[in-house]
Each structure stands twice: as C-alpha cells, then as structure tokens.
Structure 1
Amino acid sequence: MKKPNSSEIQRGQAITFRIPSDVPDHILRQLQKLKEKEKRNFSSKVAEYVLDGVGNESVQDREMISIPLPQKLNKSQRDWLKHAHSEAMLGSILFQLLSDPLRATSLLASLNSSALEIDEALYLQDHFPSVSPSEAEKETVAQKPQKNNNDQDLDDFDWSSLNQDSSGKLEEEQEQEESLDDLLGDFLAQMNK
C-alpha cells in the first residue's frame, strides 16, 4: 500500500480555515444562522458546502444536466453513481441518446415491445406507422374472424412439444441471466474497491 504523506488531505481529516475579513455581513449572518440551526453538525454542513464548491469548480468546463428520476434511488444505487466509471458510462449513454433521438426512441420502443430479437423490433418500429385508436378498433374487428379460422389449427397443435421447448429455453435464459448477473456483480465489486 501507498504510505500517505503528511501534506496529503485524507478522508476524515479536520481542516481549519479563517473567514476572510472582506466577507459581506449577510454571509456572516447566514453562517451564524446555520451554526445555530446545525449545532454539532455545523462543521459537517460547512464541509458539504466546501466540497460542493470544489466539485462545481472542477466540472465547470464539463457540460452537466439534471434529470429527474421516476423513482428514488436506494443506497447501493447512490453509491454506484458516485464512482467516476459509473458517471462516465452514464454520461456516454446519455450523450448517445441525445445525439440521435430517433434511434433512442426506436431503441426504447424495441425494449418495450414483445419481439424477441432487437432487429425484428426495430423493423416493426420503422415500417409500421402509428395507428389512431379508431383505426386500431377497425383492425381488431377485422382480425376477429381470422382467429376463428385458427381455432382448428390450435386443436391440431401438439402442446407437449411446446412445453418441452419452453422449459429448455427457460433453463438457458436462467443460465444466461445468472452469468450476466455474475459479470455485473464482479464489475460493480471492482468499481467499489
């Protein structure tokens, strides 16, 4: 391990500073109110302000946006976001989405569709225009007689072969999902070190 220098700033280290003599009175009053409000946590609150200021200064040259999330993040998700690698990855993903919004919307539509392959889902998104609700009702009414013709085909279908095929696919998907979870877990574990 690396031996820390005495001049290096470390986590948990106390830092003292002198309030400059040219600080305006309204800021001094605000600090006094904060000290009365926070009491024993005053130094922690001041440290938050200092770190926010230093962080804002270091990222002024970078473009930053705030995006509301649909749900609150849990502690592990917030911890994951604090890592530079996570921040870089999310920034890259967001930049790609913003640089090509049409592709982003088609990708989102493909993720929300029931198609099994992404190429098929993207094909469906590109080639079928959006349908108004009245047209959709007409299409469903027109499709109902066709379903009656398919009833006989369903009677002749061998359901046991379908169950065997689906159980095999389910096992393969679970194995693949477990391996993806292992990879993601290893990746996150490495980032947390």
Structure 2
Amino acid sequence: MKVYKCLITGDELFTDVYNYVEKDGLLVVRGKYITRSKGDKIDEKCYGGNASAEEPKEAEGEETTESGCNVCLDGRFGSTGFGTKKEYLAYFKDYVKALENIKKQTNPDMDFVAWRAEMTETYKSAVASFKDYEFYTGESNDPAGMIVLVKWQKPEGEDEEVPFVYFYKEGIKEEKY
C-alpha cells in the first residue's frame, strides 16, 4: 500500500486506493460525494452478531453522519479558506520557501531556479479558477503544510458534478507499507 503524505507536516493526504492523474504539476484525484456514519459505533455484523427479526431492537443513541468528498473525509481534512488570490499568493510563497528548504537538504544539487519556475506555472494553473475551489488543510490543520484544493466539476458525458481533489506534486512524499 502506498500512502501519499504532505512533505512539510507529514499529514496523510491520500492512498493508492485512489487513482490519480498528473496535470500541470498537480496530482488530481477524482472523489465522490458520500454520507456515512460517524463515531465509534461498530456494527454487530462485523463480529458475527445477527439481530433477531422477532425481538425488537434496543434503543440506541442517535447516530450521527458526515457528508462530503470521500477523499477529504478519509484524509480528515479541515476546511479553510482564502478571501482573495492575494491571500492565497502570500500562503503559496511561504509554502514554496518551506518546500525549497526541505528539498535543499535532500537534493542540494537540484536546479532551484527551474524548480521555482515550475512551481510558479503550477500556481498559475491552480489560481486560474480560484473562485471555484474549496480549500482544506491536512489533519494537523497546520497552515504551513499543503493546502488541498477541491473543485466540483461535471465530467464530460455525466449529469452530476463530482469533486476533483488537487495536490501539489512537489509537496508530496510517497511511503510504502
């Protein structure tokens, strides 16, 4: 199993359960809208329980649910936001500096001028539809880490909008388990 983590915070972002495509320096995962039970309740069927149809079911506490993009729920992302492109640019500059510092330690011979140019192009691609994105932090809610972008789109030939989740490729480390 492969787990893709934020290079800065170590937050788990997604796993190889999700297919992704690379586009303009971003990894794009197609998600889906789901609703699921939330909490510590374990279904009796998981350990061999078989509720009798003859006996009434005991009253249980209220079950809560959560709804949203499956990738965001599975990654336990926290919703965040940026009011303007200028605010997002300020975040992105700090993010690129932090990534660069990490990459200098692991790959000091890298061409950082070219790398920064690539990151700038990736940023431009991402902010082209800034108003259409939802923004999320990883589980730690550390604002220094990767801000995950989610854009709801209607794929060609489909009737419903689905969430597409965007991750900056350069900010991800892959771990195998």
- TM above 0.5, yes or no, is no
For the aligned pair, the TM-score class normalised by the smaller chain equals: under 0.3
Q: Higher strand proportion, which one?
A: 2
Normalised to the residue count of structure 2, the TM-score between the two structures is 0.22
Name which one, 1 or 2, has greater alpha-carbon Rg: 1
Q: Higher helix proportion, which one?
A: 1
